[in-house]
A = this chain, B = another copy of it.
Amino acid sequence: MKNIIQHINKAFDHRVRLGIMSILMVNEYADFNMLKELLGATDGNIASHTKALEKEEYIKVEKSFINRKPNTRYIATAEGREAFSKHIEALEKLINPND
């Protein structure tokens, strides 16, 4: 048994990014303020973590105007969904090694 954490994804090592991904797994999309409120994070925080996930192509961003206000929607990509599922599997294996 070697390197038991090799399948744990570095991109999901932070609780805000973990939160963003799990929100986007159950919701088709989420906007900036939804993430902000659900995660209790600051604006800059949400911006930088979503940017990091976008860079990995785990989420994509759709900008539009709703009621004449700017609105930014985040959506998990297929790649992101798969990576997150694998991450969860790795976590489960780490926590319950005998399953």
Contact = CB atoms under 8 A, between A and B. Distances in A.
Given A13-B13, A15-B10, A3 B39 contact: yes
Interface string A1-44: 11111101010011110110011001000000000011110000
Contacts of A5: 15-16, 18-19, 39-40
B94 A22 contact: yes
Interface in A76-99: 88, 91, 94-95, 97
Contacts of A94: 18-19, 22
A14 to B, nearest CB: 6
B37 A2 contact: yes
A14 B88 CA distance: 14
